[in-house]
Amino acid sequence: MKSVTNAIGVLFGLMLVGLAFLVATETVTRKLFNFSFQGADELGGYTLAIGSALAFSVALVGRAHIRIDLVHMRLPAAVQAVLNWAAAMLLAAFGLLLVYVCWTVVADTMEYNSTAATPWATPLVYPQGAWYAALAAFALLAVAMALRATVLLLRGRIAAVNREFGPHTVEDELREELDDLKQR
């Protein structure tokens, strides 16, 4: 799973570097040669939408979604497990909601053959399709993880639920930092 999230991170990073290069080149050519590629802002919007949707999956796998754990860590392990399961279920429900809402946008775009209101007049079904695919991947991953949390909870594997679905502890973060330091 870590290799998939690393690949997604690299993909998003390359998208941002490419966008930065395009914006820098556009700025120079506009200033020096009074020429514009027109569309750097359009590509920036697509990059942000698709990259953000990809980042949802990376954050999900890395257990990096924001959780307020001030009270959580003081609760009994069984209560923590139920809360962690509920968080996984709610995140899966949110992912499915995003996919549903995104699909209505894409369906309308296809029905009306919508294009961007820019000089490129990009058929919006392409960038919205990539956005939808990234959100669908997040939703599928969230549902799979919620199902795993459910199975673990039903089997009484409280420690496993807390380990896999609970917020990072200070010890987890310290271990990750030390592992990172060793790799350098």
Least Cα distance to 88 among 173, 169, 176, 163 occurs for 163
Burial class (CB in 10 A: 0-12, 13-18, 19+), 15: middle
Give the Cα separation of 103 and 97 in Å (integer).
Answer: 10
| pLDDT band of 1, cuts 50, 70, 90 | low
State the CB neighbour count (10 A cutoff) for residue 7. 12
pTM, full prediction: 0.85
Answer yes or no: is pLDDT of 45 > 80.
yes
Q: Tell me which of 26-35, 62-71, 102-111, 126-135 is least confident.
A: 62-71
Regarding predicted confidence, which is higher, 133 or 176?
133
Enumerate the domain spans of the chain.
Answer: 2-183
SS3 66: coil
The pLDDT, as a whole number, for residue 66 is 77
Give strand pairing partners of 123. Answer: 115
Convert the pLDDT of each residue in 51-100 to its tens digit. 999 889 988 988 887 777 778 888 999 999 999 999 999 999 999 999 99
138-159 residues labelled b (16+ CB within 10 A) or e (exposed): bbebbbebbeebeebbeeeebe
The pLDDT, as a whole number, for residue 69 is 74
